[in-house]
Amino acid sequence: MPRTVPIERTRNIGIIAHIDAGKTTVSERILFYTGRTYKIGEVHEGTAVMDWMEQERERG
C-alpha cells in the first residue's frame, strides 16, 4: 500500500498511565480531532479503535 502521508508529516506518540486513567479516551479523541476516524470510539460501547484486543479490554 503506498504511503498517503509524507514521512516528514508522521508523528509517533506514546501515552503511559495507570489503569482507568483515560488513555483510550484521549487516544480516541486524538484520532477523531485529527481526522483519522469519523466517530469518537467509546470503550463501554466496544467501538474504541485502540482497545481492540480482548486482553486489553479486560485489564482496562
What is the pLDDT tens value at each position of the chain, 60 positions in all?
A: 677 888 898 889 899 999 889 888 899 999 999 998 999 888 778 788 887 677 766 666
**DSSP secondary structure string, 30-43?**
HHHHTTS-SS---T
pTM: 0.70
Helices (H), the chain: 23-33, 54-59
Cβ atoms within 10 Å, residue 32: 15
